[in-house]
Amino acid sequence: MPAKPRIAPPAKRPPSSRSLRAFAFDPSFNWQLDTAVINQLTLQVPWEDLRPGPVGEYLEVVDVDPASGCFYAPVDLNDPHLLAMDGLDPAEGDPQFHQQMVYAVAMTTIRNFERALGRRVLWSDAGEEKGYEFVRRLRVYPHALREANAFYSPRKKALLFGYFPASTSDPGHNLPGGTVFACLSHDIVAHETTHALLDGLHRRFIEPSNGDTLALHEAFADIVALFQHFTFPAVLRQQIARTRGDLAAQNELASLAHQFGQAIGSYGALRDALGTVDPQTKKWMPKEPNPADIQTADEPHARGAILVAAVFDAFLAIYKSRVADLLRIATGGTGVLPQGAIHPDLAERMAREASHTAGHILDMCIRALDYCPPVDVDFGDYLRALVTADRDLVPDDDRRYRISVIEAFRRRGIYPRGVRSLSAESLCWAGPEPEDLPKFQRLLPKAGLQTVRPDWSLTSDRRRVWEETRAGAARIHDWLAGPGRPLGRCVGLALEAKAPLSIDRSKKTGLPKFEVHSVRPARRIGPDGDSRMDLVIEVTQKRRGYLDTSLQADVDRGRVEPLEPDFWFRGGCTILIDLDSGEVRYAIGKGITGAARLESQRRFLSGDSDGSLAATYFGDPRVREDAEPFAILHRF
Amino acid sequence: MAAPTMNAPASGVTVRMYRQGLGDCFLLAFPAAGERPFFLLIDCGVLLGTPQGSEKVRQVAEHILESTGGRLDVLVATHQHWDHLSGFEQARDVFDRLQIGEVWVAWTEDPEDPVASGLRRQRETALRALAGTVARLRASGDEDSARTAEGLAPILGFFGDLGAADGGAAGGSAIVRAMKYVVGRGKPPRYRTPGEGPLPLPGAAGARVYVLGPPKEMEFLKRSNPRSGEAYEAALAVNEETSFFAAVLGAHAREGGPAMSPEERALANLCFPFDKVYRVPVEAAQEDLFFQESYFGAGKDDVAWRRIDADWLSSAGGLALQLDSNTNNTSLALAVELVPSGKVLLFPGDAQAGNWRSWRNLGWTVDGAAVTIDDLLRRTVLYKVGHHASHNATLREQGLERMENPDLVAMIPVDEEMAHKPKGGSPKGWDMPFPPLLKRLEEKTAGRVIRVDQGLPKRPGKVPASEWKTFEERCVEEDLYLEITVAG
């Protein structure tokens, strides 16, 4: 008997998101009465076609544990049981929950980036030996290491998380001898994912060319992890009720990697943006901003913490001004809260303000990445990028976000070099010199730019975007390398025949080589509220650097053949062009011929080594070529 | 017995530093009641990998035999590092011919002491695991791993040749054998504890010895930069370090290497992060479609470059350094006092910061008067610079800066050329002597820094020639040794 035809209902649209449970902080919070209630979170992860792993569009979780000599079976999040119950229950003892949590948290971070940038994110290309191929998925190994460590591997395009037994003599909040997992710490997962995302945008930022580059990588990853917490309203409400609205008081949100800090026996959280726990009294003490700190902090985490603290200060200042009216309404105009718990409605409203502010700060920090120079970035550059990016998105600063950021940075001693004042106007990046504009318009004409613009939105296919950007970069390279190469100096490159000979030459033309690193669109809001599109182009060049200045001069002038360099000195420029008008809005450059910058990199590399035992035996980390730059940086 | 060829001064002591290379060997001659001087030997070793190291050490040992006329009154072995003890393996037959009065070692070598044997077992497990790590890294065939292995090997070289991946499990590693030999020559050996003394040197006139370290407190002993609140842990308690070692030993055992001890097996079981039901063995994973495609590379995509089989082993570098400094910290640190004058000669072995700091807690009562470490430092006229003048084996504020005696002389058993040779992980080799420390030593001693590799120093411009002459008259420079006499 032939099968009866089924009745076909109208096709269902896929849901917009998938609910997955995760720890809001890390498992240690479950064992403290006051934090247990807020430690569970259901994350809304963008819906995608998932295979067991989980393996999706951006991530592939592969659970190998080489130290234990075993593998853990991949979780299938499409299992109907799991779909019906928002994924597995948070359980430390089940590796499949670990896979679910890293996936959910990393996807949340990815989504925050995409929302801020208005386009899909790409991972950095596979390395030289892999022919700079497209990498669709970042690999996630939740149990890769047996040590207190977690890092992003730029070579393997992978996140490696560690685990280790907590100390039996001084375990903090952990179970003595119990296993601590890096992949179950919300902060650590967000932090490492951010490293990978930042590397996808700026692959030269992992080179320590000055004291700020690695620190910026660290700080930025901390900032994203920190403010990601503030986007979860439930957690925020409870914290606000607890601290009576004063988010500057000690609270879990502001302390990163809490469990790791506890487990290795140093009290309090590892990287606390706002204060530290006094080793004698074990009491938490706020850290007063001190502009001199930045002068003495050399270690990337310590330096990074200053930047994190500055951004957090800015957040607090904005939050306070946003809730001032609420407090006045709630207190009959006095602004002084009575004793006791605050009204739940007030806590709810304050939480919403905090979450809004945090969301904006997070967007601001991420968007600033499009406005950074492609190489040798420092904190001052980042401040200028923040201010410029925000002005491009919110032309009118009536909420005083920009002023708050500038003020907070100033109080921490972070100033950009070579600006006339600390007003928002003078901090914004400038366009090219007026007399250079015709050259830009000739070489990068409006009509041509329209053709290299990748079709790159939140729905584009990522491989196609990658192919289009590559093709676009090649065409722009051809334009810039055209007859006479007049644009070199305007974008900080040395493109003519008379350029220093420490810069590699093309075999074909005998002229200096350069790279077009990136071509990407950036959305902004024009002065009359309309949405505009800029094209971001990054051009870079590298030059052999020598610690010996006379050798440098000899190589530059061609008196000796270029020897193996002591270091690579990089220059380049980020150019933002309005796609509609063809106007070059900013040219953010680091000159390849700049003698002062070359000298400062030389001084940075040849300064006193840190004198640690590791430096005695393994050499100075600044000049050593590490295959895994983050592996040592993150070892606690 | 043959007559000694080395003389002692009428009062005081002659200190001889042998020049076998990067490594310690000090022979001290004190005046004694009888015809022959009283001889004290501190360590005899040279860094693994020193060209003709073994020959040089044998030559030194023969020379000691001849200089002392075949009898050492006291033999001191400071700690279990090859550059201090290799001679007792490489020239054992020569030492066999030497009569030895007393043997002094640190309490950390005492087999009866529970803390000491815990430490020793930890160290042996760690050494076997680290040696196994090097073997695994080398075998992995990948370039980064090979580099990590080459970085590890020279540090492990401080423990002598570990031989095969089993770390010489059968007869103990070479360094353990060397220490065993020294201890075995004592009848019985004297295990020295901090705060002891001043101990008379039996038969020597005008000298006594204060024992400074190694500390008894774990917080000083365990790390060169100890963390507060760290208490003593049972030998193989579960912690981050031991869980790593258990993993290496376990992997080795699974692949047909030496079996683990029952204690190690128990540890390894505690260190698995998940219950057995979750653990999929490698063989099963190789049959699984998901792992074939995503990890082993059976699918269409090339995935081999993203495998992480050896990445976890790279943490061994930090653990090796920790083991190295922990062992340095078990150094028997001695202060020799010349009695009438009160002058002090400081021999800290390779004591690191923790060992130095612990001296603050010590005190002695001598002839009714209290003596503290600061008194001893103030009276120090000869400082044997710790750990070949690396940066963290000489405490600054509470150490060198308190050596205020204007006659201070420093002796450094260092071979800069050897130290700076490229070593696996570090193309520039080791930072010994550490330049800022060397500079400060030169300032504090007005140029009287005697180095194995450079012989007697040149007169600094600002020191008057007559003053320098009196210093030079106290010294002897030979190819095989450097000598200085300190008047009593």
pLDDT per position as a tens digit, B315-336 = 887 788 778 888 888 999 999 9
- Whether the per-residue pLDDT at B232 is higher than 60: the answer is no
A14-21: average pLDDT? 94
Contacts of A564 in chain B (CB under 8 A): none
C-alpha span between A463 and B173 (Å, rounded): 56
Strands A275-277 and A284-286: antiparallel
- For all residues of chain B together, what is the average pLDDT? 87
pLDDT band at A255 (very low <50, low <70, confident <90, very high): low
Distance from CA of A475 to the nearest CA of B (A): 30
**Amino acid A250: pLDDT:** 55
- Whether the per-residue pLDDT at B254 is higher than 90: the answer is no
B147-151: average pLDDT? 77
Distance from CA of A598 to the nearest CA of B (A): 23
The larger pLDDT score, comparing residue A243 to residue A151, is at A151
C-alpha distance from residue B1 to each of A519, B7, B64, B97 (Å)? 88, 16, 14, 11
**Amino acid B167: pLDDT:** 41
Contacts of A144 in chain B (CB under 8 A): 308, 311-312
Distance from CA of B92 to the nearest CA of A (A): 30
Distance from CA of A72 to the nearest CA of B (A): 6
- Whether the per-residue pLDDT at A602 is higher than 60: the answer is yes
pLDDT digits (tens, 9 = 90+) for A137-160: 999 999 999 988 889 998 899 999
- Whether the per-residue pLDDT at B171 is higher than 60: the answer is no
A69-89: average pLDDT? 95
- Whether the per-residue pLDDT at A623 is higher than 60: the answer is no
**Cβ separation B425–A618 shorter than 8 A:** yes
pLDDT digits (tens, 9 = 90+) for A462-505: 999 899 888 889 988 988 888 777 787 888 888 888 888 888 88
pLDDT digits (tens, 9 = 90+) for B464-485: 999 999 999 999 999 999 999 9
B17-38: average pLDDT? 94
**Amino acid B233: pLDDT:** 38
Percent of chain B exceeding pLDDT 70 equals 92
**Amino acid B251: pLDDT:** 85
Indicate the residue of B250, B273, B430 with minimum beta-carbon distance to A616: B430
Contacts of B418 in chain A (CB under 8 A): none
Contacts of A156 in chain B (CB under 8 A): 305-306, 308
C-alpha span between B100 and B276 (Å, rounded): 56
Token duo for residue A519: 């071509």
Q: Which of B278, B286, B434 to mutate to test the interface with A (most CBs of A within 10 A)?
A: B278
Token duo for residue A10: 């109208």
**Amino acid A624: pLDDT:** 46
**Cβ separation B310–A95 shorter than 8 A:** no
**Amino acid B68: pLDDT:** 96
Q: Lowest-confidence range among A516-530, B359-373, B453-467?
A: A516-530
Residue with tokens 């009491």: A283
C-alpha span between A102 and A178 (Å, rounded): 20
**Amino acid A259: pLDDT:** 52
Report phi then psi at B338, rounded to 5: -90, 125
**Cβ separation A628–B231 shorter than 8 A:** no
pLDDT digits (tens, 9 = 90+) for A211-228: 788 888 888 988 898 888
**Cβ separation B274–A72 shorter than 8 A:** yes
pLDDT band at A285 (very low <50, low <70, confident <90, very high): low
- Whether the per-residue pLDDT at A581 is higher than 90: the answer is no
**pTM of the complete model:** 0.83
Terminal C-alpha separation, chain A:
70
**Cβ separation B227–A266 shorter than 8 A:** yes
Helix A549-557 with A595-606: angle, nearest 10 deg: 140
Q: Do residues B306 and B343 touch, judged by C-beta distance below 8 A?
A: no
**Cβ separation A146–B244 shorter than 8 A:** yes
pLDDT band at B185 (very low <50, low <70, confident <90, very high): very high
**Cβ separation B224–A613 shorter than 8 A:** yes
Q: Do residues B204 and A112 touch, judged by C-beta distance below 8 A?
A: no
Q: Do residues B11 and B31 touch, judged by C-beta distance below 8 A?
A: yes
Contacts of B247 in chain A (CB under 8 A): 67-69, 146
**Amino acid B223: pLDDT:** 53
Chains A–B, number of C-beta pairs less than 8 Å apart: 190
Contacts of B239 in chain A (CB under 8 A): 164-165, 167-168, 177
Where on the phi/psi map is residue A86: left (φ > 0), alpha (ψ -120 to 50), or beta? Answer: left
Query: Which one, of A57, A60, A22, A71, lies nearest residue A458 by Cα?
Result: A57
Distance from CA of B428 to the nearest CA of A (A): 7
- For all residues of chain A together, what is the average pLDDT? 82
Q: Do residues A531 and A168 touch, judged by C-beta distance below 8 A?
A: no
- Whether the per-residue pLDDT at A286 is higher than 80: the answer is no
Buried b (16+ CB within 10 A) or exposed e, B202-219: eebbbbbbbbbbbbbbbb
B163-172: average pLDDT? 46
Q: Do residues A581 and A564 touch, judged by C-beta distance below 8 A?
A: no
Q: Which of B290, B326, B394 to mutate to test the interface with A (most CBs of A within 10 A)?
A: B290
- Whether the per-residue pLDDT at A611 is higher than 50: the answer is no
- Whether the per-residue pLDDT at A579 is higher than 90: the answer is no
**Cβ separation A617–B423 shorter than 8 A:** yes
C-alpha span between A314 and A291 (Å, rounded): 15
Query: Which one, of B438, B426, B363, lies nearest residue B393 by Cα?
Result: B438
Contacts of A609 in chain B (CB under 8 A): 431
A369-385: average pLDDT? 91
**Amino acid B165: pLDDT:** 38
Q: Which of residues 229-248 of B touch A (CB under 8 A)?
A: 229-233, 237-240, 243-244, 247
Q: Which of residues 274-313 of B touch A (CB under 8 A)?
A: 274-275, 278-282, 284-285, 288, 290-291, 294-295, 305-306, 308-312
Contacts of A260 in chain B (CB under 8 A): none
Percent of chain B exceeding pLDDT 90 equals 55
pLDDT band at A251 (very low <50, low <70, confident <90, very high): low
Q: Hey, which residues does B40 pair with through a beta bridge?
A: B28, B74
**Cβ separation B240–A165 shorter than 8 A:** yes
- Whether the per-residue pLDDT at B231 is higher than 50: the answer is no
A383-389: average pLDDT? 92
- Whether the per-residue pLDDT at A577 is higher than 70: the answer is yes
**Amino acid A369: pLDDT:** 92
- Whether the per-residue pLDDT at A123 is higher than 90: the answer is yes
